[in-house]
Chain A
Amino acid sequence: MSGVSKKFGGLHALDEVSFTARSGELTALIGPNGAGKTTMFNCISGSHSLTAGEVYFDGRLLTGMRPAQVLRHGLARTFQLVRPFEGLTVLETVMTSGHWRSGQTFWGAMLPTPGSLRSEKRLRAEAMQTLAALGVDHLADQHVHQLPYGQQRLVEIAKVLTTGADTLLLDEPAAGLHATELEALSHVLIDIRQAGRTILMVEHNMAFLMSLADRVVVLDFGRKLAEGTPDEVNANQDVIDAYLGKGGESAKS
């Protein structure tokens, strides 16, 4: 599977931003607030339409597809605002992510076929495994909206993992997590990358991100400032200027 590359232009929030995220790598997208990171995500996943430019995914043009189609091509994303399904438990929510590839159809589900029973078992097993990996499997039967914020974020990540997409767009996955949760998340992300999946991540938590990222892309005011390995970007003068005053804080671990 070849990499993702994006070329943009013209959108007020994003101005001719181009970069490439290679498959099997974790690429981090950073920048001050309002730099256009979430807008970028929206453009990639199809929630926003582009004024100009293209998004290429696996050699295919992604622009113009709707979110459901994008998912079928192997790309899934999390949202910054947690959007829990009110009536569903954690387990049910994560199992729902696997629905689109479960093979269960509307009419078919009415009959208790062995196929659908097997599918249910598989969905449940996968969901539990993902939750366990993130350390939240003990919350399986609780309702998502009753959980504290940090755990809701982890459930969001579990959701996106169970979609089975090979490319994941994570919007500030570390936000609101404390130390143990962060560690679980790191392990999970490392595992995923080792398994060959591609991650594009927006983050503010520099320490978390620098240890994980293969490449970093820096945005500021809708334009790309720099692109390269973490060390390269850290040394980049433009980046340092943009983050003036933040350099000291980001060194904290």
Chain B
Amino acid sequence: MQTEATLAQSDVSELDLVKRCQSGDTEAFDELVIRYRTRVFGMIYNMVHSEQDAWDLAQESFLKAWKSIGRFRGQSSFYTWIYRIVMNVTIDWLRKKKIKGGDAEFDDAIQLREIDPASKTVPKTEALPHQAMERDEIRARIEKAIDQLSPEHRAVILMKEMDDMQYHEIAEALGCSIGTVMSRLFYARKKLQSLLRDVYENV
């Protein structure tokens, strides 16, 4: 069974895989999914804060990628290209949820933590119960703060801080200018600084 690590080391280039996908090779697409599924899921999860919704949105994103792989021209990396799909799907979903008045996303996240508090997010070195609790609280604070950002601001700050993406990559993924990315980063950081100052000062 191939893992992400072994695939990353393999000689099969991303562009070769994409070309095979474009000729209808589902196995090649499967390899691309294995390479990017964790990053895609992680990004979506941090946008929506629900494992089930993140799973469904990641599935939808990859399915859309498969359907439109024929239009990928290789002008950007596959990762940037699929991020654009991921962001469109996720931001649309967040907007629709807001329109429907769904304010329960933070409650869902709390429930998930109650069901599975010892998920892989907890460090592998055994944490003491009070440390685990403290970590959960910190994460809850961060998620609550991120929930207060608009979908576009969430996307920008997460791509920058979580994935270390460059401005032009974020701009490509969101279909906007680099100036817009930088401006959104400015406001998103200001907002998070005001909401999380006590957290990052005391950790």
Do chains A and B interact in one complex? no
